[in-house]
Structure 1
Amino acid sequence: MNTKTSSQPNQAEGGSDAHRRLNRSDAKTLSLSALGGALEFYDFVIFVYFANVVGSLFFPADMPEWLRQVQTYGIFAAGYLARPLGGVIMAHFGDILGRKRMFMMSILLMAVPTLAIGLMPTYETIGIAAPLLLLFFRVLQGAAIGGEAPGAWVFVTEHVSKRHVGFACGVLSSGLVAGILIGSLVATFMHSIYSAAEIHSYAWRYPFILGGLFGFITMYLRRWLQETPVFKEMESRKELAQELPIKSVVKKHIPSVLVSMAVTWVLTAAVVVTILMTPALLQKLIHLDPQTSLEANSLAIICVIIGCWVCGALADRFGNGPILAIFSIGLGVSYWMFYSTMLHDTTLLFPMYALVGFFVGLTGVVPAIAVKSFPAAIRFSGLSFSYNLAYAIFGGTTPLVVSTLLREDPLAPAYYVAFVCGVGVLASLAVMGFRRRLDLVAHPV
């Protein structure tokens, strides 16, 4: 890799306008990127909200219920396992051909299979081809989401000034989380206007068809985005990566990879356990009404969005490491108090879950840490490789680990979150300790 790659003066790399204010162009880039991320994450997570219905329609009727559930969630997990490969491939071309092209490609790769799931025939019509097609489309979705989040983070941070990288990542992360909120609200709305029989018969298709249409709308909106100044500068100076970007990442930037994977592990625990799994856990363990659990979950997600903005803004002011440490401790303590209390008293369900959601806002600072860990020429590949590998390992296995531990102790989810938040504190110390070294890697003088 050319060692001069990251030295050019520009917004993201600390040049002459590194401390300028956010302008109208930045606001446009942030808003369109966040909106696109929200709609793409909606496409990815809507599957889990209708997993039981999908399982009953795409597998044999005489299959044991436990096996059907395992198969259904196995297909859901396949989306996570496909993330590293899809992310690395798109990141490779993003570092070679441009950020915007892959930003558009990830949307197309998500919209088409989501729409296809909503239109495809079930097991009753085409037999074993139904679950196989479902698996294929889910893998395509995973490949798309593997390129979307890292690509979006790189795209926006290379547009804004260095002083606003944390805030930009926070805003974009809040957009991704908003996609989960949209999925939750759509699921709640569907269950409120359709009976269980109607959803099973035909209405389950509507959220997937809607997601496909969302994707094509997003593709149209992203046409108005411009390639990042960082990439255009590297391209004009012929300073793009001279070898395979992923090869350079593995050979020269393992410490950055490890730090990025550690903070991504914290992100997965925060999102998968506290936001995606907790409503179902409360329904199963204390028989909480599904409607109530979804309403509380929606409030928590709104607080996650607020937390992302706050966390990102504070990181710009006080540094990524200290803010990650504070939010990690806050999440570990608040979720422990919330979960242990809910097992015997749900009186404070809404305010306590809202507090947990706010501290899940630590997801706003995670991408800022990872983005700053790699030089511009391989930034997309470095971030994508670290983030998606960690998400495949931890995001895909977390539900299995937590479910297994639940057999031994009903407090297992709280134990798991507390442990991973401890990892977050250690990672924050590493970020603070190696801050100067990481800055020199990403922004050499």
Structure 2
Amino acid sequence: MSATTAAGRPGPSDAPRVPPRREPTPTQRRRVAAASLIGTTIEWYDYFIFGSAAALVFGPLFFPQADPLTGTLAAFATFAVGFIARPIGGIVMGHFGDRVGRKSMLVTSMMLMGVATVLIGLLPTYETIGIAAPILLVVLRLVQGFGVGGEWGGAVLMSVEYAPPRRRAIFGSLPQMGLPAGVILANVAFIVAVQRLAPGEFAAWGWRVPFLLSAVLIVVGLVLRLKVQESPEFAALREDKEVLRSPLVQVFRSHKSDLLLASAASIAAPALGYLILVYMLSYGVGVIGHSSQTVLWLIVVASLAWLVAIGISAVVAERVGRKRVFLAGALLVSVWAFPFFRLVDSGEVVSMGVALSVAAVAVATMAGPQAALVADLFPASVRYSGSSLAYQVGSVLGGAFAPTIATSLFAAYAASWPIAVYMAALGAASFLALLFLREEEPVPAPVGDGV
């Protein structure tokens, strides 16, 4: 078991290391980078088509006895159910990821997500099977949540632990890019379905097509992931017989403060992210009065800004420090909250695009350095358990109920300013937690030190 100091901080043997016995080749690193980016893109596609469907059709299809507002809240609550399973997935897959290996958990998470997504696409509605329809929808959403709960830790660790020296933040940002990339794919899939089909056809069967397309994407992702080798850091642990029997127990025993602070720091990004990706679709259509295609395209534009900004923030983090960049993103969330809704409420498409894009950049500024910052808080022997749990707890506290809370606040006050207050408060919470979070000091990257 790795030694720690009396204060519970990592001792010398806990420092992240890349054993010289199996230094990855550039080809292996490129293969892992591609598998991480493409694999997480597919998994987030699966996860977010549910959010789009919840905003557009799940209310009347699975909760028809409710009035429109209650139906929307019920659909968003079903979306939130996936978050309940995410920490469980993080704990279970984190345990086996630290015991058996990172690669096997990545394959498992992709299989779970793919099967659940395809089954949702085949699920009969309330009109056909009654109350069993929303119950099965919740069960399948729980499976999705369980799968994505283990996905983030595994994809991040494979990338970070394969990274060249002084490139951990950049490699760790690749799985983070999978989120906006998955959102783009999900929204484009729904845009095509909405544009090509009449409203009645879309409600009857068209919404199922994006879910069923997941079967093809999952095969691509599995082929890529099966070709990569195990993380070199975990391989070294296994060779040295340093694999722990109960890694999660060690996390709570020796890294409790890091776990709590990393969880709190991870609140703002998912909260704002899900407000953009899920709530804004409902708000833009139901409150502002735009068509669903218009709002979906605005989210695609914001997601493109998000994707690019993640890479930029990771590169900057390697130069000036991960924590500083993360702090800047959390501060931007709080500062932008009120201008965001002022621009959105104008109803002008360009203004809404600016509002969503700047908000997406705020999320990206946190997401770029987040993977490496959180992963390096924990030694390799407990890294999957610690980083997964921190990220998923933050996602639950921040993102799980953000669309539901926003919908309820607007219903209660008939105004957007309470939602802006809520957003600003979450940004402040993450900022304060980050102030106390420690960081591995980055080493400036020499020119030419690439993949």
Q: So what's the TM-score if we normalise by structure 2?
A: 0.88
In the TM superposition, what are the counterparts of 1:43-442 in structure 2 within 5 Å?
43-51=46-54, 52-59=56-63, 61-241=64-244, 243-344=245-346, 346=348, 347-361=350-364, 362-406=366-410, 407-408=412-413, 409-431=415-437, 434-435=438-439
* Gaps in structure 1 of 5+ consecutive residues: 440-445
Cα shift at 1:436? 5.9
Give 2:3's aligned residue: 3
Question: Would you say 1:27 and 2:30 are equivalent positions?
Answer: yes
Work out the CA distance in 1 between the residues paired with 2:256 and 2:86: 20
Residues 13 and 162 in structure 1, CA contact (< 8 A), matched pair in contact too: no
Work out the CA distance in 2 between the residues paired with 1:9 and 1:232: 16
Residues 17 and 161 in structure 1, CA contact (< 8 A), matched pair in contact too: no
Work out the CA distance in 1 between the residues paired with 2:291 and 2:402: 24
- 1:233-288 CA-partner distances (Å, limit 9, x unpaired): 000000111x4111111121111111210221022123112333223323333323
- Cα pair distance change 1:8/1:30, threshold 3 Å: farther
Residues 78 and 141 in structure 2, CA contact (< 8 A), matched pair in contact too: yes
- Cα pair distance change 1:158/1:129, threshold 3 Å: same
Moved more, 297-306 or 268-277: 268-277
Give the total of aligned pairs: 433
- Cα pair distance change 1:286/1:438, threshold 3 Å: same
* Structure 2 SS opposite 1:2: coil
Cα shift at 1:437? 10
Work out the CA distance in 1 between the residues paired with 2:186 and 2:11: 39
* Structure 2 SS opposite 1:374: coil
Residues 332 and 417 in structure 1, CA contact (< 8 A), matched pair in contact too: yes
Residues 153 and 367 in structure 1, CA contact (< 8 A), matched pair in contact too: yes
Measured on the aligned residues, the alpha-carbon RMSD in Å equals 2.8
- Cα pair distance change 1:392/1:68, threshold 3 Å: same
Structure 2: which amino acid aligns with 1:45?
F
Residues 37 and 175 in structure 1, CA contact (< 8 A), matched pair in contact too: yes
Residues 264 and 391 in structure 1, CA contact (< 8 A), matched pair in contact too: yes
Residues 36 and 155 in structure 2, CA contact (< 8 A), matched pair in contact too: yes
Work out the CA distance in 2 between the residues paired with 1:219 and 1:6: 37
Moved more, 369-378 or 112-121: 112-121
Work out the CA distance in 2 between the residues paired with 1:249 and 1:421: 26
Cα shift at 1:177? 2.0
Residues 110 and 222 in structure 2, CA contact (< 8 A), matched pair in contact too: yes
- Cα pair distance change 1:42/1:345, threshold 3 Å: closer
Work out the CA distance in 1 between the residues paired with 2:76 and 2:274: 14
Residues 251 and 382 in structure 2, CA contact (< 8 A), matched pair in contact too: yes
* Gaps in structure 2 of 5+ consecutive residues: 5-9, 444-451
Work out the CA distance in 2 between the residues paired with 1:24 and 1:428: 35
Residues 8 and 15 in structure 1, CA contact (< 8 A), matched pair in contact too: no
Work out the CA distance in 1 between the residues paired with 2:78 and 2:393: 18
Residues 84 and 145 in structure 2, CA contact (< 8 A), matched pair in contact too: yes
Cα shift at 1:395? 1.7
* Structure 2 SS opposite 1:41: helix
- Cα pair distance change 1:21/1:375, threshold 3 Å: closer
Work out the CA distance in 1 between the residues paired with 2:207 and 2:140: 17
Residues 36 and 174 in structure 2, CA contact (< 8 A), matched pair in contact too: no
Residues 256 and 438 in structure 1, CA contact (< 8 A), matched pair in contact too: no
Cα shift at 1:190? 0.8
Moved more, 28-37 or 45-54: 45-54
* Structure 1 SS opposite 2:17: coil
